[in-house]
Homo-oligomer: A and B are copies of this chain.
Amino acid sequence: MEQQEEAKMEIVLKPIGIIRTPISGPGKGPRQGSESAVSGKLIVDEQYRDALLGLEKGWKIVILYWMHLAERDMLQVHPRGDRTRPLRGVFSTRSPQRPNPVSLDTVEITGIEGTVIDVIGLDAVDGTFLLDIKCTV
């Protein structure tokens, strides 16, 4: 019964904006999960302006974003693409390859102007769709 409901259920997400970073493609940025010193901008859609109320410079936030370049059918990977390392299940890694390629970064707000948020600490590729912003505490 549950299995059936689950199989039928489709969860549809809507991008809330776009991420601008100097990272031009996969493997061009810092390793996933490591400290990143990459600065960029969260360009939030105007329709979500009211949802930004209260965010302030200096805050740490968690952002969720969609890794549109990921392969969703790959269940195992060589960690960090190193073929000398044994295969691991994607759920035991931070590989972008996974059934639902939603990633997260913790970033710090360095400025806000309207619906554009300057942040530092990004891993996302330029043009990535932003899905959510949460405070960390």
Contacts and interface: CB of A to CB of B under 8 A. Distances in A.
Interface of A: 2-3, 6, 9-18, 33, 44-45, 48, 50-55, 59, 61-62, 64, 66, 75-76, 87-94, 98-100, 102, 104, 127, 129, 131-137
Contacts of A15: 6, 9, 11
A61 B92 CA distance: 8
A102 B62 CA distance: 12
A90 B51 contact: yes
B94 A135 contact: yes
Nearest to A117: B91
A24 to B, nearest CB: 16
A64 B6 contact: no
A133 to B, nearest CB: 4
Given A52-B89, A75-B50, A91-B55, A131 B104 contact: no
Nearest to A77: B51
Given A94-B135, A100-B131, A11 B66 contact: yes
**Nearest 5 A/B pairs, CB to CB:** A54-B92, A53-B89, A91-B133, A54-B88, A51-B75
Max chain B CB contacts within 10 Å: which of A17, A59, A131? A131
Given A100-B131, A131-B100, A92 B52 contact: yes
